[in-house]
Structure 1
Amino acid sequence: MIQVVDGMAAGVRTLLLDRPAARNALTTAMAELLADAVADAAADTGVRALVIATTGQDFGVGADRDEELGAAGRARRMQVFSRLHMAVTDAPKAVVAAVEGRCVAVAAELAAACDLRVGAQASSFRFPGAEMGIPIGAARLIGVVGPAAAKDLVLTSRWTRAEEALRIGLLQRLVPRGGALKAAVEVAAHTARADPATAAFLKRQLQVFCGDLERIEAERATLDAFFGPKGEHVP
Structure 2
Amino acid sequence: MSEVLEIERRNQAWIFTLNRPQKMNALAPELVQALTEGIEAAHQENIPLMIFKGSGKNFCAGFDFSDLDTASEGDLLQRIIHIEILLDLLATSPAMTVALCHGRNFGAGVDIIASCKKRIATANTTFRFPGIKFGLILGTRRFQNIVGTQNALDILSSTRTFEAGEALNIGLIQQVREPEDWQSLIEQAENNNAILSDVTRRNLYKVLYPDTESDQNLAALVRSAAAPGLKERIRAYLKPN
TM over 0.5: same fold? yes
Once residues 24 and 114 of structure 2 are traced to their aligned partners in structure 1, the CA distance between those partners, rounded to angstroms, is: 19
Q: Which amino acid letter does the alignment assign opposite residue 29 of structure 2?
A: T
| Cα deviation, residue 153, structure 1 | 1.4
Give secondary structure in 2 for the equivalent of 1:108. helix
Question: Which residue identity lines up with residue 63 of structure 1 in the other structure?
Answer: F
CA distance change for structure 1 residues 216 and 160 in 2, over 3 Å: closer, same or farther?
A: farther
TM-score normalised over the length of structure 2: 0.86
Corresponding position of 1:51: 51
Partner of 1:158: 160
Q: Which letter maps to 2:56?
A: G
Query: Aligned partners of 2:14 and 2:156: how far apart in 1?
Result: 31
Does the aligned pair in 1 maintain the 2:135–2:224 contact within 8 Å?
Answer: no
Q: Provide closer, same or farther for how the CA distance between residues 201 and 28 of structure 1 changes in structure 2, counting only shifts above 3 A.
A: same
Partner of 2:234: none
Q: Distance in 1 between matches of 2:223 and 2:134?
A: 17
Residue 221 (structure 1) aligns with: 219
Query: Deviations along 1:14-36, whole A, 9 cap, x unmatched?
Result: 01110111111110121011111
Is contact 1:92-1:200 (8 Å) kept?
Answer: yes
- Judging changes above 3 Å, is the alpha-carbon distance between structure 1 residues 114 and 180 closer, same or farther for their aligned structure 2 residues? farther
Which amino acid letter does the alignment assign opposite residue 3 of structure 1? E
Q: Structure 1 length normalisation: TM-score?
A: 0.88
Q: Name the counterpart of 1:71.
A: 73
- Give the Cα separation in 2 of the matches to 1:21 and 1:216: 32
Structure 1 residues 187 and 125, CA, compared in 2 at 3 Å: closer, same or farther?
farther
1:20 is aligned to 21
Aligned-residue offset at 1:101: 0.7
Deviations 1:110-130 (A, max 9, x none): 111111101011001111122
RMSD: 1.9
CA distance in 1, matches of 2:75, 2:116: 26
Distance in 1, Cα, partners of 2:226 & 2:146: 29
Classify 1:222/1:141 alpha carbon distance in 2 versus 1 (closer, same or farther; 3 Å): same
Report the counterpart of residue 237 of structure 2 in structure 1. none
Q: Map 1:137-156; keep pairs closer than 5 Å.
A: 137-156=139-158
Contact 1:120 1:179 in 2 (8 A): no
Match for 1:37: what amino acid?
G
> What's the counterpart of residue 31 of structure 1?
32
Q: Distance in 2 between matches of 1:228 and 1:148?
A: 27
Between the aligned partners of 1:89 and 1:187, the Cα distance in structure 2 is 21
Q: 2: distance between equivalents of 1:191 and 1:172?
A: 16
Unaligned 5+ residue runs, structure 1? none
Q: What secondary structure, in the 3-state scheme, does the structure 1 residue paired with 2:173 have? A: coil
Aligned sequence identity (%):
22
Once the two structures are overlaid, the 10-residue window that deviates more, 187-196 or 109-118, is 187-196
Question: Is 2:102 the counterpart of 1:104?
Answer: no
Counterpart position of 2:190 = 189
Greater shift in the superposed pair: 24-33 or 127-136 = 127-136
What SS is found at the alignment partner of 1:51?
Answer: strand
Deviations 1:192-233 (A, max 9, x none): 21211111111110124xxxx34443231122233339x865
Cα distance in structure 2, aligned partners of 1:201 and 1:92: 8
Contact 1:11 / 1:189 at 8 angstroms: preserved in 2? yes
> 1:59, 1:99 within 8 Å by CA — same for their partners in 2?
yes
Counterpart contact for 1:2–1:16, Cα < 8 Å: yes
CA distance in 2, matches of 1:195, 1:104: 35
What amino acid is aligned across from residue 60 of structure 1 in structure 2?
C
Query: Can you give the 5+ residue segments of structure 2 that lack an aligned partner in the other structure?
Result: 231-241
1:184 Cα deviation after fit:
4.7
